[in-house]
Amino acid sequence: MTRTEEFQELRPLLFSIAYRILGSVSEAEDAVQETWLRYEGSPAEPRSAKAFLSATVSRISIDVLRSARVRREEYVGPWFPEPLLADPYEDPERSAELADSVSMAALLLLERLSPLERAVFVLREVFAFSFRDIASAVERSEAACRQLAVQARRHMDEGRPRFEADRRERDRLAVRFFDAMREGDVDGLQELLAADVHMVGDSGGKAPQLARPVIGLEKVTRMLAAFIPMLARTGGMMELHEVNGQPGGIFRDRDGRVLNTWALDILDGRIQTIRTVNNPDKLGHLGPVGDAWATLREVTEARRSAD
Longest C-alpha distance within the chain, in Å? 71
Q: What confidence tier does 225 reach under pLDDT thresholds 50, 70, 90?
A: confident
Residue 275's identity, in one-letter code, is R
Tell whether the model's pLDDT for residue 272 goes beyond 80: yes
Instruction: Provide mean pLDDT across the span 297-307.
Output: 78
Give the per-residue pLDDT at 307: 64
**How would you classify residue 204: left for phi > 0, otherwise alpha for psi between -120 and 50, otherwise beta?**
left
- Which one-letter DSSP state was computed for residue 226? H
Pairing status of strand 193-202 against strand 248-252? unpaired
Report the distance separating Cα 49 and Cα 228, nearest Å: 49
Quick count: other Cβ atoms within 10 Å of Cβ 283? 24
Q: What confidence tier does 84 reach under pLDDT thresholds 50, 70, 90?
A: very high
Instruction: Provide mean pLDDT across the span 271-285.
Output: 97
pLDDT tens digits, 85-106: 999 999 998 988 898 899 999 9
Report the distance separating Cα 58 and Cα 74, nearest Å: 25
Report the distance separating Cα 70 and Cα 82, nearest Å: 17
Residue from 162, 22, 120 nearest 79 by CA: 22
Taking the alpha carbons of 218, 221, 224, 225 in that order, is the dihedral positive or negative?
Answer: negative
Report the distance separating Cα 13 and Cα 35, nearest Å: 12
CA-based angle 60:64:68, to the nearest 5?
165
Give the per-residue pLDDT at 241: 96
Q: E-assigned strands of the chain?
A: 193-202, 214-215, 237-240, 248-252, 258-267, 270-277
SS3 47: coil
Report the distance separating Cα 118 and Cα 40, nearest Å: 27
DSSP bridge partners of 180 = none
pLDDT tens digits, 133-149: 999 999 999 999 999 99
